[in-house]
Amino acid sequence: MIRKAKIKDVSHIQAIINIFAKRNEMLSRSKTELYDYLRDFFVAEEDGEIVGTCALHIFWEDLAEIRSLAVKEEKQKNGIGTNLVKACIEEAYSLDIKKIFVLTYKTEFFKRFGFSYIDKTALPHKIWKDCIHCPKFPTCDEIAMILDLNLK
């Protein structure tokens, strides 16, 4: 089941994200950040257990980011990540957001949704708001992709 995250989910969300953050596959998230942005998050729940998470973060009137997509390893390849991304895309439509971007190492996964490559310099709000605090800045090796919802 995919649903919006609740306060009780924060520790579980952080634990899942930090598994991948420790491998430098995504940014870690503090509990403070997760509480601040809780309304951005969806979770995947199976039998009362949080097994995945993903967030849709709004940056501008027409731009949002899918971030913090993480699914427990033993639950991967079962459509959970796909359903989390679909939930974010549906929410973007409902908010009349025109474009969604991701910074990812999993380009083939996001291509399935219609995302295409974009130069990171086309994302100034992202770079100056979040990326400047990243330990990989300015030599980030993640790949920027964008989905234009006007074309769907």
The domain segmentation of the chain, as residue ranges, is 2-151
Rg of the Cα atoms in the chain: 15
Q: Which regions of the chain does DSSP assign to beta strands (E)?
A: 2-4, 41-46, 49-60, 63-71, 99-104, 116-117, 143-148
Length of the chain: 152
- What percentage of residues in the chain have a pLDDT greater than 90? 70
pLDDT in tens, 91-149: 999 999 999 999 999 999 999 999 999 988 787 666 556 666 666 666 677 889 999 99
Q: What is the fold, at CATH topology level, of the domain defined by 2-151?
A: Aminopeptidase (3.40.630)
Nearest 5 degrees, angle CA 74-CA 78-CA 49? Answer: 55
